[in-house]
Amino acid sequence: MGYAIADAAARRGVEVTLVSGPVELPSTTVRGPVRVTSAQQMLTAVREKLPRADWLVMAAAVADFAPSVVEKEKMKKDQSRELTLRLSRNPDILESVRSMKDHRLFVGFAAETEDLVHNAREKALRKGLDLIVANDVSGPDTGFESEENSGVILDQGDLAEELPRMSKARMAERILDAALEKWKKGGVSG
């Protein structure tokens, strides 16, 4: 979805900076994506680019945890039947840049399996988002690793715009339309 939104915005003539984790996708029309391989690197890149941006769209599915230690060499197997990996909490990028929000419009995503609207609204509030795109990821046909998606665009108030199943390219246009409307109305929360 992140690539679809970046491309749709670029087609509209917007100056886009794409910060991307490791993904295997067809190329993008956005020039020079900033490639990162960890949540910490993504946070650093977002912090660096945000001062020059008016909007932040966070579509990355960032892992909640990362291995505490990354071995340089292949790990040798021993006789044990179990292996315990120690994981550390990744930074929450949206929450970490909340203090930089000011006039900016922040859009986030919420992949939920239950109580879609309720949980996503709560997330919008907690992360200080102007809009949140909630996906139901309990079904097999939409969301991750699919050309199509469905969901609902919410704000912290009454907005609830249904997005029936459609291509990710089309959905990107709908999300940009909703964001533009919010931006024009000046309804951005501080």
CB of 85 to ligand C5P, least distance (A): 18
- Of residues 125 through 184, those in contact with ligand C5P by CB under 6 A are none
Binding mask 43-82 for ligand C5P (x = CB under 6 A): ---------------xxx-x--------------------
Spatial separation of the C-alpha atoms in residues 16 and 160, rounded to whole Å: 27
Q: CA of 119: how far to CAs of 24, 59, 129, 178, in Å?
A: 30, 17, 13, 20
Residue 92 contacts ligand C5P per CB under 6 A = yes
- Tell me if 167 sits within 8 A of 159, measured CB to CB: no
| Closer by beta carbon to ligand C5P, 8 or else 58 | 58
| Closer by beta carbon to ligand C5P, 8 or else 131 | 131
CB of 167 to ligand C5P, least distance (A): 20
Contact positions vs ligand C5P (CB under 6 A): 39, 58-60, 62, 90, 92-94, 108-110, 123
